[in-house]
């Protein structure tokens, strides 16, 4: 059997803070195959962003292994595309120059990087805003600009950390549909963090639910809803059944938080 594109084996992470150790993750196992869309859902503070920092090679795990195809990847940045929770657009750079930052970090000369980025502004709904500054963009456009930066790096695995968390409901739904269309076109393997159950189900092939801190996988569900998906997907009985399962699991987690 072919190796999964991404495999996490027993990832644990403990931070040493002044007040003592903080156990953020406790033995997370997760796999994603080529072109999978996988979501990770869990309560605030359960270690989701920490997990992405580990996969992106920015934090070393305390224990466990990160496999990217045939390689051990702990502590190795640059192997995956990563859009962190904050969009990190620099206000003093134009949208175009923000978009090419990742390429420049890879050593691509500025002129070439700009040419490559300009070819994608239309597809990312940013045409006409190339020379504007981030302050001129709406929330959805900011997210698309940050996403453009991530996608320009052309990695087969892309990590998206709550990209739509700050958007209003309507923009969010539009962005979800836009993201699915783009994913269908480019087909990277996507790992997507959200704390929105509907969003996780609407987008994903598989959803992992993490427990409250220290995060570990308490549920892994496949989402066999047909694609392409639209807002009709949200009203299908199968969608409702999956949603109930996820809600129940998250509620049990909260109950154990209160008990602890
Ligand atoms: N660099 C760090 N040093 C100490 N504690 C940290 C650090 N980064 C994250 N944490 C703690 O680890 C836990 C998980 O954080 P995080 O991964 O950001 O959670 P989530 O993204 O699920 O909300 C939190 O309690 C957070 O305060
Ligand atoms: Mg987070």
Q: How many angstroms is it from 31 CA to the middle of ligand 1? A: 22
Calculate the average pLDDT of the chain: 94
Take atom 16 of ligand 1 and give the residue whose Cα is closest: 47
Confidence at residue 102, expressed as pLDDT on a 0 to 100 scale: 92
Could you identify the atom of ligand 1 that is nearest to the CA of residue 52? 17
Q: How far apart are CA 27 and CA 30, in angstroms?
A: 10
pTM of the predicted protein model:
0.95
Secondary structure element (H or E) that encloses residue 115, with its range: helix 110-118
Confidence at residue 166, expressed as pLDDT on a 0 to 100 scale: 87
Confidence at residue 252, expressed as pLDDT on a 0 to 100 scale: 87
Take atom 11 of ligand 1 and give the residue whose Cα is closest: 24
Average pLDDT over residues 191-210: 97
Alpha carbon separation from 63 to 14, 60, 135 (Å, rounded): 9, 8, 41
Say which residues have a Cβ less than 8 Å from residue 43's Cβ, sequence separation at least 6.
Answer: 195, 210, 212, 213, 250, 253, 254, 257
129-171: per-residue pLDDT in tens? Answer: 999 999 999 999 999 999 999 999 999 999 999 999 889 998 9
Take atom 25 of ligand 1 and give the residue whose Cα is closest: 45
Take atom 17 of ligand 1 and give the residue whose Cα is closest: 47
Say which residues have a Cβ less than 8 Å from residue 9's Cβ, sequence separation at least 6.
Answer: 29, 64, 65, 66, 67
At CA 32, angle to CA 1 and CA 4, rounded to 5? 25
Confidence at residue 119, expressed as pLDDT on a 0 to 100 scale: 96
**DSSP 3-state of 109:** coil
Instruction: Give the CB-side neighbour count of residue 174, counting CA atoms within 13 A.
Output: 12
Whether 50 lines ligand 1, by a CB cut-off of 6 Å, is yes
CA 104 to mean position of chain CA atoms: 22
Average pLDDT over residues 43-58: 96
Say which residues have a Cβ less than 8 Å from residue 1's Cβ, sequence separation at least 6.
Answer: none
**DSSP 3-state of 97:** helix
Confidence at residue 260, expressed as pLDDT on a 0 to 100 scale: 57
Whether 120 lines ligand 1, by a CB cut-off of 6 Å, is no
Could you identify the atom of ligand 1 that is nearest to the CA of residue 22? 5
DSSP code of residue 60: -
Q: Among all ligands shown, which has an atom nearest to the Cα of 55?
A: 1
87-135: per-residue pLDDT in tens? Answer: 789 999 999 999 999 999 999 999 999 999 999 999 999 999 999 999 9
Take atom 27 of ligand 1 and give the residue whose Cα is closest: 45
Q: How many angstroms is it from 46 CA to the middle of ligand 1? A: 8
- Is the predicted pLDDT of residue 256 greater than 80, yes or no? no
- Is the predicted pLDDT of residue 36 greater than 60, yes or no? yes
Cβ(145)–Cβ(131) under 8 Å?
no
Q: How far apart are CA 134 and CA 140, in angstroms?
A: 11
**DSSP 3-state of 144:** helix
Could you identify the atom of ligand 1 that is nearest to the CA of residue 210? 22
Average pLDDT over residues 41-62: 96
């Amino acid at each position: 059997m072919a190796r999964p594109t991404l495999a996490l084996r027993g990832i644990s992470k403990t931070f040493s803070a002044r007040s003592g150790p903080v156990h953020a993750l406790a033995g997370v196992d997760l796999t994603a195959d080529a072109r999978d869309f996988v979501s990770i859902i869990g309560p605030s503070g359960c270690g989701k962003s920490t997990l992405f920092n580990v996969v992106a090679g920015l934090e070393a795990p305390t224990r466990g292994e990160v496999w990217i195809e045939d390689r051990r990847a702990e502590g190795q940045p640059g192997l995956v595309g990563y859009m962190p929770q904050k969009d990190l657009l620099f206000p003093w750079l134009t949208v175009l120059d923000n978009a090419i930052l990742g390429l420049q970090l890879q050593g691509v000369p500025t002129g070439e990087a700009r040419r490559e980025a300009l070819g994608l502004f239309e597809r990312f709904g940013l045409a006409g805003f190339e020379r504007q500054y981030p302050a001129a963009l709406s929330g959805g456009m900011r997210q698309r600009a940050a996403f453009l930066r991530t996608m320009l790096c052309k990695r087969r695995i892309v990590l998206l950390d709550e990209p739509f968390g700050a958007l209003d409901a309507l923009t969010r739904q539009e962005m979800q549909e836009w993201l699915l269309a783009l994913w269908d076109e480019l087909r990277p393997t996507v790992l997507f963090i959200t704390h929105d159950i509907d969003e996780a189900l609407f987008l994903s092939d598989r959803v992992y639910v993490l427990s409250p801190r220290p995060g570990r996988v308490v549920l892994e569900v496949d989402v066999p809803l047909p694609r392409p998906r639209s807002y009709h997907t949200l009203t299908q009985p199968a969608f409702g059944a999956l949603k109930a399962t996820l809600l129940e699991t998250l509620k049990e987690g909260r109950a154990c938080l209160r008990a602890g």
